Amino acid sequence: MELGRRTILKLAGAVPAMAAVPAAIPEGGGPWERLRAGLAGELFRPGDPGYDEARLGFFSLYDHRLPHGVAVCANEDDVRRCVDFAARHRVPIAARSGGHSYAGYSTVDKGLVVDLSRLNAIEILPGGRAAIGAGAVLGQVYETLAAAGRALPAGSCPSVGIAGLTLGGGIGVLGRKYGLTCDSVESVRFVGADGKLRLVSAETAPDLLWALRGGGGGNFGIVTSFTFRTAAARTLTNFGLTFPPAVLAALVAAWQEWQPAMPDELWSGMGLGPTAVNCGGCFVGRAAQLNPLLDDLVRRVGTQPLTRDVTEQRNLATMRAFAEETNFPAAVAQRGEYVSTSRMLTHPVPDPDALASLLTSDPYLYSIIDAYGGAIARVPSSESCFPHRSALGSIQVTRGLDGGEAYARQAIGRVRDELGREYGQAGYINYIDAEMPHWAKAYYGESLPRLRRVARKYDPDGVFAFEQGLAR
């Protein structure tokens, strides 16, 4: 799952921009002031009060980046004006929702950050649908939907933005039952590279809707809001099993046979590291139904867990539990101090002992394996560009910054590349890694040629080009 960042920080010890094209206008001057005057929201420039706070994303690694402007948009027309400004003056532009880009692409150096945080309205619509602004974060989404008795399959970190998560796919604890977050998208409101606002749906622009369902944040244009299909909120049972470190390989061997045989209602993941051997998850149903399934997993592992927690509760309480929050705060002060990469588990692990050695080869590594299958695997490629439907799961490899950033990236890179030799080059775009080899093929697989055609059609001049963008 797209885990709560505090979980990673605790256990590990510890959207996107035009490629580097020099701005045709200087940092200062009239065009920026005209942009400021035309916005209903605020434009923060270097030297303005509040600029140093407005420019920051989630990860402190990118605090050295200095945008020429951060536009905190008040409405869709502000977004349109920003895109028009960037296209006209050849200024790098990046949309920012939650600001959690692992590569820091939503903090564009010497460019324009389009901050969507005020476009965060959530409206419950007839027929179990919800209109959600692109600036909403998951904590807000879960609280509002729960009040209406609805649920949406999404991630677990409450400060992650709905936009970036959805556009890259969106894995989470309800995924095997209800699919990826992008699978629930019915339509979007979208500002294209031409500066025009349009409704994107299966009727109006089926190729673009296909691409926005998993094509990654920062490509094609800026989504200002989504309309989702939601599910009726159900009683959920979340669980956590903690095993001795010595049984890491045995847990992996047992889990990869057990999880695919489980009903769609059961999702699980593993947290693995030198001192962490955990399996946790969520069951759409009652604890009495879940416990025999967990007994089966424990039997397969062959070792009793050190701890076993099974909690039956409402949907919202479960989301709070996975976020490690009793309530979702309006803002999360803690920032990211780690690096991350990913691979897809395209087939079962042939040598669990070798995997255990790899994942414990550095004392600060922590890896998260998330289950796929179920509803995720049943969405046809004609409906969504997400290319990893047949995977057993994904593995996110994280490391704290002990020893420095360069050393940390080298450590996760060794694991990434070794995994690539066994499972192929695929990775998950929402865990974007600036050093991912053959990144376009890794993130988009067989969808890549069609995605590039969509990018050329809707962004022919590369307004939304960036280092790992489709419009390059």
- For 230-253, the pLDDT digits (tens) are 999 999 999 999 999 999 999 999
The residues, ordered by sequence, that sit 6+ positions from 177 with a Cβ below 8 Å of its Cβ are: 153, 264, 265, 267, 284, 374, 375
CA distance 248 to 274: 9
Is 141 in contact with 124 (CB distance < 8 Å)? no
Residue 91: the pLDDT is 97
Question: 236-444: which CATH architecture?
Answer: 3-Layer(aba) Sandwich (3.40)
For residue 324, the model assigns a pLDDT of 82
The residue among 467 and 23 whose pLDDT is bigger is 467
pLDDT category, 13, cuts 50, 70, 90? very low
Measure the CA dihedral 165/236/244/255, to 10°: -70
Q: Measured on CA atoms in the order 380, 228, 322, 386, is the torsion positive or negative?
A: positive
Task: Judge whether 458 and 196 are in contact, CB under 8 Å.
Answer: no
Mean pLDDT of 52-77: 97
3-class secondary structure, 180: coil
Q: List pLDDT tens digits, range 80-105.
A: 999 999 999 999 999 999 999 999 99
CB-CB contact of 454 with 193 (8 Å): no
Percent of the chain with pLDDT over 90: 90
pLDDT (average), residues 131-160: 96
| Domain definitions of the chain by residue range | 236-444
CA atoms within 13 A on the CB side of 51: 13
Query: Which range has the worst mean pLDDT, 21-35, 268-282, 421-435?
Result: 21-35
Contacts of 36 (CB under 8 A, 6+ apart): 43, 45
pTM for this prediction: 0.93
φ/ψ of 439, rounded to 5, equals -60, -40
